[in-house]
Structure 1
């Protein structure tokens, strides 16, 4: 099973035009990411694992980069980086094969191929007090309302949710039931697609067996695609989705984290032109 490493990068704000400088340096390093996306915001915060690396000092993450293999980022990029965190996973070859072509179709879908949004306006959707159980909280709904009306490529285009997953003992089978339902109905009906899924082997370069003593630590990663943030909101507000979420997903997880990212506006970063940031 091919190994892929997911890198979170926080840039040093002391550098002028830090994001564009980093993209130029990434191109010069001749790296070929499966995914290069800009981090937008946390949807769910980790509560137990890797919090000192992911949340300490109120880190603002700039990019998510998914590279084949296990190497750290090139040394030439380090002067631009303030913080970085990486996690390596074995990803089935059926997912990585022809990934660029499949990913392009998701980012630039053919007319009529994207599920229609729910007829209920965002304003009418019921909310909860927190998004930690992958529900539509009042705060998240307010943020989506503002974000989706902005004049930016990611406001109307596809988004990807980077998931970190830690399972309770003997509860992975419950999460697999959620995954089956996500792929067949509750996610796919809203355009959801788990485009990268893998079992964790290393965290920050340390083998999981050592980092996660007694089976405690991150077990899997997933990158889930949605045609837009409004499709994601539709899913969270869907009663059928929440019935399955609370029956299978929530009880299965000891800890989880979700970061919203977007590849929109970055498609041309390696083709000689400037990415639209």
Structure 2
């Protein structure tokens, strides 16, 4: 099973160095084998116990999600542009990586008929006090409404999920994953395009570590919100996903949004 590196990167003076980072990354693409390059938009769920010093200390603002099909350390020319870095390694099934770039390009640049309509859940949304249980909170709803009106908010989003399971509860999470693929996620265009088991964790504490990583695609932030606001999703989420997790975090990223920085590339191709 191939091992991929999932890097979260905070760049020096990010607004000036993102184009430089992309240009430098392009020059190393043959050895690093990038799968995903995303602009980090915001936290959806914060970690509560695992890796919190590394991920949240000093109020770090993450700029780039970089997933590469290699465990080779990032070259010095890239390291010089990075202020903070958090990396986790995961074994990803070969079937998910086979022809990944063309499949991902189709997701990010869909053809007519590819994107399902919203289901109407946002007309009378299910609202919770917090988004920590992957529910639609008033604050998250307000942000989504604002972001969806921006140019970047019109495109696809990729949600980075890190998961740590309660003892003996992974099977319950697998039931959640099956329901996500069969209906509750797929009917909103949700696609778990990268899923892997963590083989080395850079931020585990006291012997505890993350168990799994997943990158979930949604055609738009409104499709993601439509799922969170729905009764059918929350019935499965509250039954299987929430009780199965010891800790988790979700970061919203935009692979489309990286084009805003003039990288000169199309989609995920480098």
Q: TM-score range by the shorter chain?
A: over 0.9
Residue number in structure 1 paired with 2:78: 77
Aligned residue pairs total: 265
Shift in CA distance, 120/241, structure 1 to aligned 2, threshold 3 Å: closer
Q: How does 1:134-213 map to 2 (within 5 A)?
A: 134-150=134-150, 152=151, 154-204=152-202, 213=207
TM-score under structure 2 length normalisation: 0.92
The CA distance in 2 between the partners of 1:212 and 1:99, in whole Å, is 36
Q: TM-score, normalised by structure 1?
A: 0.90
Structure 2 CA distance for aligned equivalents of residues 131 and 245 of structure 1: 12
- Structure 1 residue 252: deviation in Å? 0.2
Task: Show structure 1 runs of 5+ residues with no match.
Answer: none
Shift of 1:16: 6.8
RMSD: 2.1
Q: What 5-or-longer segments of structure 2 have no aligned partner?
A: none
Structure 2 CA distance for partners of 1:269 and 1:59, relative to 1, 3 Å: closer
Change in CA separation of 1:263 and 1:106 when aligned onto 2, cut-off 3 Å: same
SS of 1:198 mapped into structure 2: strand
Given the superposition, is the C-alpha separation of residues 249 and 37 from structure 1 closer, same or farther in structure 2, using an over 3 Å criterion? same
The one-character-per-residue Cα deviations of 1:157-204 (angstroms, maximum 9, x if unpaired) are: 110100000000000000000000000011101110000000001123
1:268–1:127 Cα change, 3 Å? closer
In structure 2, what is the equivalent of residue 37 of structure 1? 38
Q: Is the 8 A contact 2:38 2:253 kept in 1?
A: yes
CA deviation string 1:71-129 (max 9, x = no partner): 2211111121110010000000000000001101111111112110133556x423111
| Conserved? CA contact 1:27–1:270, under 8 Å | no
Asked whether the equivalents of residues 268 and 274 of structure 1 are also in contact (C-alpha less than 8 Å), the reply is no
Structure 1 outlier segments of 4+, above 4 Å: 267-275
Tell me, in whole angstroms, the C-alpha distance in 1 between the residues paired with 2:103 and 2:72: 25
Asked if residue 130 in structure 1 is aligned to residue 122 in structure 2, the reply is no
